[in-house]
Structure 1
């Protein structure tokens, strides 16, 4: 098994390897399996270092693993969003690392090899106060998405003008259609409908397996036409829309990691280190909210299962809130003045 070659510790724990094989056989995405294997391997490595039998682990042992994750140095530097250490992995990363450990113990319970799961999860508990929700093992921090200011966005686009036709149209589509990185890189030539200026986002490339059809603007259509002519000089075969132009992988599908590297280099050039492949999606959904789109329409456009997910993506800046408040106060003030005018008119009539 390839995963056991990458993480030898999995081969030393039969039940762990078996659990991952089941998930693989069920057709889970390779990236999901890889993330599960990494998280579980990290936990099993610690168990071996601390002489802990994973089959007998308790909540105390899991807490020790969480403590190690929160204090582990991050290659991105100090992370102020960890639980209380001021360093270590990000809260979202810790949550991701704990998911496979929790699911592994769920599997052991189903197999009759354990009676309880030492990894806590937030769940509904009848009879409890404050809505009856029990907290998970690690508090989940929810951050507002970062979006660039108008000046920062213009600076980024100015740098992008020097990019290849492929990179320019990818940035345009990423914003216009609010595409996730995998959705963008997985587009195929037959997903395009230039006549209607729409593209199909196939279910197998989406996060929640929901297929959708989204439009793109006329300016993006011009960029796309130019890229298709350029693509024909690389390959005339139908298939993946975006092709690599490097010597090593010429005419091969552009990978997710290559696209991330391209955006990262542009972000550094513009001194915008927080700009990522997901920023264009955040910005598009925020702009739709600013234009007054209904929440359900934005959720459908974004491919969200529920509007709760959409709310986490919509970021209204302090300036937007201030403008909204000012407009509201102006309406209230005008209404009060109108009522006072009517009162004055009534008093004059009575006199």
Structure 2
């Protein structure tokens, strides 16, 4: 069987049998598509360790991050392991593939006062009554106030909100559901949007939708639109034009820990499967503490 055909069969297996999320299946498909582009659409049985090393080396020369290389190594191992189980190959060429060590990079974090100013400006724009401005303000407040991912934000339905308890039900990675609290500012922004913004946007759609956040044409808003909103509002506060919605999630986690929140509680809020993933934010907090010490202490 050719690599391309086998990759599609594997993606179908991930979707129908293992029931992985569409984003995860898409990531596997993209990784295997890149493998096919690099080495050609070879017969699966003809692919060996040297082909895989050539693939990773091409990605390295291209400047791909270590995390990307590590993910692609994992994708190759999962794919060829499946192919071996399905008797499509006699031996697994990925067994000897070395996983590149992931580099630890600290996430971009905006200062709490800078974010407060950003949200105040968004609130002022929303106060004028434009439905898109009302939506943008609600989106920013939820991203920061609840620390949710952009995919989780875009997937929210109106019924996922519990205004009385100030919580929102989100569907995270691996289709895992969790309930996350949000603060009073986010509650006010969402209430204003639901009252004065969403009805206007919903009236523009041909069909009704349960989605919480709507685009200008009344359909569920997508990650690209949210990314543009965050870039426009938050990039100056972070000091980088490459900032995205995750910067608000990073900021929320760091500010929670700075304020004394328990690491386990932050893990639950963020929906991390491993506490080790959450611990990156302790490094961010310690770096900020070290910087403050260096600036303020006479014996620094």
Change (3 A) 1:322 1:24: closer
Higher relative contact order (CA 8 A, sep 6+): 2
Contact 1:120/1:137, CA 8 A, preserved across alignment: no
1:148 corresponds, among 107, 110, 113, to: 110
Distance in 2 (CA, whole Å) between partners of 1:304 and 1:319 is 23
2:8 matched residue in structure 1: 17
Distance in 2 (CA, whole Å) between partners of 1:110 and 1:92 is 27
Distance in 2 (CA, whole Å) between partners of 1:222 and 1:267 is 20
1:4 matched residue in structure 2: none
Q: Deviations over 1:111-155 (max 9, x none)?
A: 23232332556xxxxxxxxxxxxxx43222121212123565356
Q: Deviations over 1:257-294 (max 9, x none)?
A: 22123223335566522421111111111111111122
2:279 corresponds, among 298, 301, 311, to: 311
Q: Tell me the TM-score normalized by structure 1.
A: 0.71
Distance in 2 (CA, whole Å) between partners of 1:173 and 1:233 is 20
Q: Deviations over 1:184-232 (max 9, x none)?
A: 111111111111222112xxx3014332222211122111111001212
Q: Please tell me whether Structure 1 or Structure 2 has the larger radius of gyration of its CA atoms.
A: 1
2:93 corresponds, among 109, 117, 134, to: 117
2:50 matched residue in structure 1: 60
Structure that is richer in helix per residue: 2
- Say whether 1:234 aligns with 2:201: yes
2:269 matched residue in structure 1: 301
What is the total number of aligned residue pairs between the two structures?
Answer: 280
Distance in 2 (CA, whole Å) between partners of 1:99 and 1:253 is 33
Change (3 A) 1:60 1:159: farther
1:216 corresponds, among 176, 182, 190, to: 182
CA RMSD in angstroms, aligned pairs only: 2.9
Q: Tell me the TM-score normalized by structure 2.
A: 0.82
